[in-house]
Amino acid sequence: MPGKDDEYAPRPGEIAVALPASFNAGIYFIGTIRTPWRTRADCPKNGRGSEAVCTIEVHEPYGAALAGIEAFSHLVVVYFMDRARRDLVLQVPRHLGEPRGTFALRSPVRPNPIALSVVRLLKVENNRLSVVGLDCLDETPLVDLKPYYASVDSTGDEPPETGSPIASR
Protein backbone atom coordinates (compact mmCIF):
# COMPACT_ATOMS: atom_id res chain seq x y z
CA MET A 1 0.00 0.00 0.00
CA PRO A 2 1.38 3.45 -0.80
CA GLY A 3 2.56 5.17 2.32
CA LYS A 4 1.67 2.28 4.58
CA ASP A 5 5.12 1.33 5.67
CA ASP A 6 6.41 4.79 6.49
CA GLU A 7 3.24 6.42 7.86
CA TYR A 8 2.31 3.43 9.96
CA ALA A 9 5.80 2.21 10.86
CA PRO A 10 5.83 0.73 14.39
CA ARG A 11 6.89 3.08 17.17
CA PRO A 12 8.88 2.14 20.26
CA GLY A 13 6.66 0.08 22.55
CA GLU A 14 4.38 -1.17 19.78
CA ILE A 15 3.93 -4.87 19.05
CA ALA A 16 3.43 -6.31 15.56
CA VAL A 17 2.29 -9.91 15.10
CA ALA A 18 2.38 -12.36 12.19
CA LEU A 19 -1.03 -12.40 10.51
CA PRO A 20 -2.65 -15.64 9.31
CA ALA A 21 -1.65 -16.81 5.85
CA SER A 22 -5.23 -16.71 4.54
CA PHE A 23 -8.49 -14.83 5.14
CA ASN A 24 -11.57 -16.34 6.79
CA ALA A 25 -14.06 -14.40 4.67
CA GLY A 26 -14.30 -12.04 1.73
CA ILE A 27 -16.16 -8.75 1.38
CA TYR A 28 -17.44 -6.79 -1.60
CA PHE A 29 -16.58 -3.12 -1.79
CA ILE A 30 -19.93 -1.53 -2.68
CA GLY A 31 -18.75 1.99 -3.41
CA THR A 32 -16.15 4.70 -3.05
CA ILE A 33 -16.03 7.57 -0.57
CA ARG A 34 -14.91 10.95 -1.89
CA THR A 35 -13.50 13.32 0.70
CA PRO A 36 -11.33 16.46 0.63
CA TRP A 37 -8.49 14.66 2.47
CA ARG A 38 -5.56 13.04 0.66
CA THR A 39 -3.14 12.64 3.59
CA ARG A 40 -3.57 11.46 7.14
CA ALA A 41 -2.26 14.78 8.37
CA ASP A 42 -5.20 16.55 6.73
CA CYS A 43 -7.80 13.99 7.75
CA PRO A 44 -10.01 14.59 10.79
CA LYS A 45 -9.34 12.14 13.62
CA ASN A 46 -13.01 11.28 13.99
CA GLY A 47 -16.29 12.01 12.29
CA ARG A 48 -17.11 14.96 14.54
CA GLY A 49 -13.87 16.67 13.53
CA SER A 50 -15.14 18.34 10.37
CA GLU A 51 -18.26 19.81 8.81
CA ALA A 52 -16.95 19.05 5.30
CA VAL A 53 -19.51 17.62 2.91
CA CYS A 54 -18.31 14.26 1.55
CA THR A 55 -19.75 12.13 -1.23
CA ILE A 56 -20.48 8.44 -1.05
CA GLU A 57 -20.69 6.86 -4.50
CA VAL A 58 -22.48 3.53 -4.50
CA HIS A 59 -21.40 1.29 -7.36
CA GLU A 60 -23.70 -0.70 -9.59
CA PRO A 61 -25.35 -3.16 -9.15
CA TYR A 62 -26.05 -1.84 -5.62
CA GLY A 63 -27.89 1.39 -6.54
CA ALA A 64 -31.26 -0.30 -6.06
CA ALA A 65 -30.28 -1.02 -2.46
CA LEU A 66 -30.56 2.73 -1.72
CA ALA A 67 -34.36 2.79 -2.17
CA GLY A 68 -35.91 4.48 0.87
CA ILE A 69 -32.64 5.69 2.34
CA GLU A 70 -33.59 9.37 1.94
CA ALA A 71 -36.09 8.92 4.80
CA PHE A 72 -33.24 8.76 7.31
CA SER A 73 -31.56 11.79 8.80
CA HIS A 74 -28.47 9.82 9.82
CA LEU A 75 -26.68 6.72 8.54
CA VAL A 76 -24.05 4.35 9.86
CA VAL A 77 -21.28 4.22 7.25
CA VAL A 78 -18.90 1.25 7.33
CA TYR A 79 -15.68 1.59 5.36
CA PHE A 80 -12.35 -0.10 4.83
CA MET A 81 -9.16 1.68 5.90
CA ASP A 82 -7.28 0.39 2.90
CA ARG A 83 -4.01 2.20 3.61
CA ALA A 84 -3.56 1.00 7.22
CA ARG A 85 -1.23 -1.79 8.33
CA ARG A 86 -3.04 -4.64 10.05
CA ASP A 87 -0.55 -6.35 12.32
CA LEU A 88 -0.22 -4.15 15.42
CA VAL A 89 -1.84 -5.47 18.58
CA LEU A 90 -0.30 -2.89 20.92
CA GLN A 91 -0.09 0.72 19.77
CA VAL A 92 1.27 3.96 21.13
CA PRO A 93 -1.08 6.69 19.86
CA ARG A 94 0.51 10.10 19.75
CA HIS A 95 -2.17 11.63 21.95
CA LEU A 96 -1.64 8.98 24.66
CA GLY A 97 2.12 8.48 24.55
CA GLU A 98 1.79 5.05 26.15
CA PRO A 99 0.85 1.60 24.85
CA ARG A 100 -2.77 0.52 24.52
CA GLY A 101 -4.34 -2.56 22.94
CA THR A 102 -5.72 -2.21 19.44
CA PHE A 103 -9.22 -3.20 20.53
CA ALA A 104 -9.21 -0.40 23.10
CA LEU A 105 -8.55 2.16 20.35
CA ARG A 106 -10.40 3.62 17.36
CA SER A 107 -7.17 3.49 15.38
CA PRO A 108 -7.44 2.46 11.69
CA VAL A 109 -4.60 -0.01 12.38
CA ARG A 110 -6.25 -3.32 13.27
CA PRO A 111 -6.44 -6.88 11.90
CA ASN A 112 -9.64 -5.97 10.03
CA PRO A 113 -9.33 -2.25 9.29
CA ILE A 114 -13.08 -1.66 9.31
CA ALA A 115 -14.18 1.82 10.35
CA LEU A 116 -17.55 3.31 11.09
CA SER A 117 -19.04 6.76 11.44
CA VAL A 118 -22.54 8.02 12.06
CA VAL A 119 -23.12 10.68 9.40
CA ARG A 120 -25.77 13.29 8.66
CA LEU A 121 -27.47 12.61 5.34
CA LEU A 122 -27.91 15.81 3.33
CA LYS A 123 -28.87 14.65 -0.15
CA VAL A 124 -29.40 11.58 -2.31
CA GLU A 125 -28.91 11.94 -6.06
CA ASN A 126 -29.03 8.71 -8.02
CA ASN A 127 -26.19 6.62 -6.54
CA ARG A 128 -24.51 9.54 -4.78
CA LEU A 129 -25.09 10.51 -1.16
CA SER A 130 -23.91 13.81 0.30
CA VAL A 131 -23.06 13.44 3.98
CA VAL A 132 -21.33 15.21 6.87
CA GLY A 133 -19.40 13.35 9.55
CA LEU A 134 -16.69 11.29 7.85
CA ASP A 135 -13.00 11.01 8.76
CA CYS A 136 -11.50 9.00 5.90
CA LEU A 137 -9.06 9.61 3.08
CA ASP A 138 -10.30 10.28 -0.43
CA GLU A 139 -11.18 7.07 -2.32
CA THR A 140 -11.66 4.96 0.78
CA PRO A 141 -13.67 1.85 -0.14
CA LEU A 142 -17.25 1.58 1.13
CA VAL A 143 -18.27 -1.65 2.87
CA ASP A 144 -21.84 -0.99 4.01
CA LEU A 145 -24.56 1.58 4.76
CA LYS A 146 -27.19 1.18 7.45
CA PRO A 147 -29.87 3.51 8.82
CA TYR A 148 -28.99 4.99 12.20
CA TYR A 149 -31.68 4.49 14.85
CA ALA A 150 -31.09 6.46 18.02
CA SER A 151 -33.42 4.05 19.84
CA VAL A 152 -31.11 1.16 18.97
CA ASP A 153 -27.69 2.67 18.42
CA SER A 154 -27.49 5.11 21.33
CA THR A 155 -27.61 3.39 24.70
CA GLY A 156 -28.52 6.61 26.47
CA ASP A 157 -26.89 5.42 29.69
CA GLU A 158 -23.22 5.57 28.83
CA PRO A 159 -20.83 6.22 31.72
CA PRO A 160 -18.42 9.14 31.27
CA GLU A 161 -15.96 8.42 28.46
CA THR A 162 -12.56 7.07 29.41
CA GLY A 163 -9.89 8.45 27.16
CA SER A 164 -10.21 10.66 24.16
CA PRO A 165 -12.32 9.90 21.09
CA ILE A 166 -9.40 11.43 19.20
CA ALA A 167 -7.86 8.02 18.91
CA SER A 168 -5.95 7.70 15.70
CA ARG A 169 -2.38 6.55 15.82
Ligand X SMILES: C[S@@+](CC[C@H](N)C(=O)[O-])C[C@H]1O[C@@H](n2cnc3c(N)ncnc32)[C@H](O)[C@@H]1O
Q: How far is the CB of 67 from ligand X (least distance, A)?
A: 26
Q: How far is the CB of 132 from ligand X (least distance, A)?
A: 13
Q: What is the DSSP string of 48-79?
A: GG---EEEEEEPTTSGGGGTTGGG-SEEEEEE
Burial of 149 (0-12, 13-18, 19+ CB in 10 A): exposed
The reply to whether 137 sits near ligand X by the rule CB under 6 A is: yes
Please say which residue, 14 or 135, places its beta carbon nearer to ligand X.
135
The reply to whether 88 sits near ligand X by the rule CB under 6 A is: no
Please report, for residues 13, 21, 47, 92, the alpha-carbon distance to residue 115 in angstroms, rounded to integers and kept in the order given: 24, 23, 11, 19
Among 75, 83, 102, 145, binds ligand X (CB under 6 A): 83
Query: Are the C-beta atoms of 15 and 100 separated by less than 8 Å?
Result: no
The reply to whether 106 sits near ligand X by the rule CB under 6 A is: yes
Binding mask 36-75 for ligand X (x = CB under 6 A): ----x--xxxxx----------------------------
Binding interface with ligand X (CB under 6 A):
40, 43-47, 81-84, 106-108, 115-117, 135-137, 140, 167-168
